[in-house]
Amino acid sequence: MNKVITISREYGAGGHAIGKRVAQELGVEIYDKDIVRETVKASGYEAELVEREGEDVSKTGSFIKSICAGSAFYPNTQDAIHDVQQAVILQFAQAGPCVILGRCADEILRATDIKALNVFVYADELHRAVRVRELTGVTDPAELQKMLAKKDASRRAYYTHYTGKRWGDCHNYDLSLDSGALGVDLCVKLIVDAARSGE
Question: What residues make contact with a second copy under the rule CB under 8 A?
Answer: 120, 122, 124, 168-171, 173-178, 181-183, 185-186, 189-190, 193-194, 197-198
Question: Taking the complex as a whole, how short is the minimal distance between the CB of residue 183 and a second copy, in angstroms?
Answer: 8
Contact 45, 39 (CB under 8 A): yes
Question: Taking the complex as a whole, how short is the minimal distance between the CB of residue 75 and a second copy, in angstroms?
Answer: 33
Question: Taking the complex as a whole, how short is the minimal distance between the CB of residue 170 and a second copy, in angstroms?
Answer: 4
Contact 32, 23 (CB under 8 A): no
Of 82 and 155, CB closest to a second copy: 155
Of 124 and 140, CB closest to a second copy: 124
Question: Taking the complex as a whole, how short is the minimal distance between the CB of residue 36 and a second copy, in angstroms?
Answer: 27
Where b means 16+ CB within 10 Å and e means fewer, 177-192 reads: bebbeeebeebbebbb
Residue 144 parent element (H or E): helix 141-163
Question: Taking the complex as a whole, how short is the minimal distance between the CB of residue 8 and a second copy, in angstroms?
Answer: 11
Residues 6+ apart with CB under 8 A from 105: 4, 6, 8, 89, 93, 116
Sign of CA dihedral 117, 98, 198, 25: negative
Kindly report the number of other CB atoms within 10 A of residue 105's CB atom: 27
Of 54 and 102, CB closest to a second copy: 102
Of 67 and 170, CB closest to a second copy: 170
Side chain identity at 88, as an amino acid letter? Answer: V
Of 138 and 194, CB closest to a second copy: 194
Of 113 and 193, CB closest to a second copy: 193
Residue 7 parent element (H or E): strand 4-9
Question: Taking the complex as a whole, how short is the minimal distance between the CB of residue 5 and a second copy, in angstroms?
Answer: 13
* φ, ψ of residue 55 in degrees (nearest 5): -150, -10
